[in-house]
Amino acid sequence: MSTSYDINGVNSVGGQTAYAPSTQPPNNDIQMFEQQIEALLAQMQGNGGGSGGGQSGAQVTGGQNSSVQALERVAEALLQALESRDGQRAGGAPPSDGGAPFSPEASAQPAASPGGGAPSGDLASGGPSGAPVSAATASGGTSSGTDAAAGSSPTAGVSSTSAGSGPNAIQITNTTDKPMTLGKFQNGQSTTDPSAQITLQPGQTGTINYQNGEAGFVAKADSSGTFQPNASRLEYEADADGKQKYPDVSYIDGRNASISLTDGAGLNKGDDKSIAANAPAGTVTTDSAGDPTIAGYYDGSTATMQAGANYMQSQLGTDGAYLHPNDDQLGAGSNPMSSTQSNTIYADFGNA
């Protein structure tokens, strides 16, 4: 007696499910559910055709309803099986290819840098790669003079120090050939005793953080580590909601370092020039290591203050840094004011 099979290789005559010789029984739960659905569909088709063979309408309808209900149960079981399978794979079940099991702990670990240093991707340490970014690099420029020499330092571009707290960051690179200590001073507090400080080796990058609603400045200490009131200033301020920041460079009190800054998105202020060597006689003082400071205008009450400010203006202009207290009243192209929505400012501190 020959046996007939449907297009899917299934014979469901008499309520029994059989498989064609070329269709082997299912080898897992998913295939079994699929075969059961196919058999039920075939049974429903058979019940529908039986209405012309003497079965009453009520019997046909009842058979179809029971088949539909059975089909719904199988479909639900199939969905649960699929969800269970996917959940096991996402939760640590061994992959079907026999590879190593998925490990959430392992996958959550950031990749280490090729040199074995800190993981990449830290916001305060720079861009998407996590590598520290100098003001020259972030603005698309190139370093020159002492900057180039610092780039060959073993510690160049390595961020290993930070201070302060808050969602806003000033990432600073020491572009000189000497170590420097940098302090953060909040407005209304001491101008010689910093609230936070970092020390950077030549070519090294560090980060100073500050809070929304905070304003102040960052300055470089002299060679003995003492903060003087006539130092260059990288001034910072953030709105209370943190949406707008106002970074700028000021040499009003004096210049013991060049400061250049950028937000990496078009804002560029300050300079990277070394101009102290050619400053007029009497306008430069030096610390115990011979590091120079050019006199700033401050309140313009002495000839030395005026001469120092005039010299810096002749070398730097007025659009990059404040040289006088009222420079923010100058016209467009000569005004050192700036603003940005970036949470990170990149700055280079170089020779005066």
At residue 84, the pLDDT reads 57
Greater confidence, 194 or 139? Answer: 194
Q: Is the pLDDT of residue 201 over 80?
A: yes
Amino acid symbol at 47: N
List phi, psi (to 5°) of 18: -130, 155
Q: Which of 75-84, 103-112, 281-290, 333-342 has the lowest mean pLDDT?
A: 103-112
Residue 349 near residue 264, CB atoms below 8 Å: no
Three-state SS string over 91-105 comes to HCCCCCCCCCCCCHH
Q: Is the pTM of this model over 0.75?
A: no
Distance CA(349)–CA(251), nearest Å, equals: 13
Amino acid symbol at 224: S
Distance CA(169)–CA(157), nearest Å, equals: 17
Distance CA(123)–CA(108), nearest Å, equals: 17
Distance CA(66)–CA(73), nearest Å, equals: 11
Distance CA(316)–CA(311), nearest Å, equals: 9
Q: Is the pLDDT of residue 58 over 80?
A: no
Residue among 175, 178, 203, 200 at smallest CA distance from 350: 175
Q: Which of 27-41, 219-233, 280-294 has the lowest mean pLDDT?
A: 27-41
List phi, psi (to 5°) of 103: -125, 110
Greater confidence, 156 or 34? Answer: 34
Given the candidates 2.60.110.10, 3.40.50.2000, 1.10.260.30, 2.60.40.10, the CATH classification of the domain at 127-350 is: 2.60.110.10
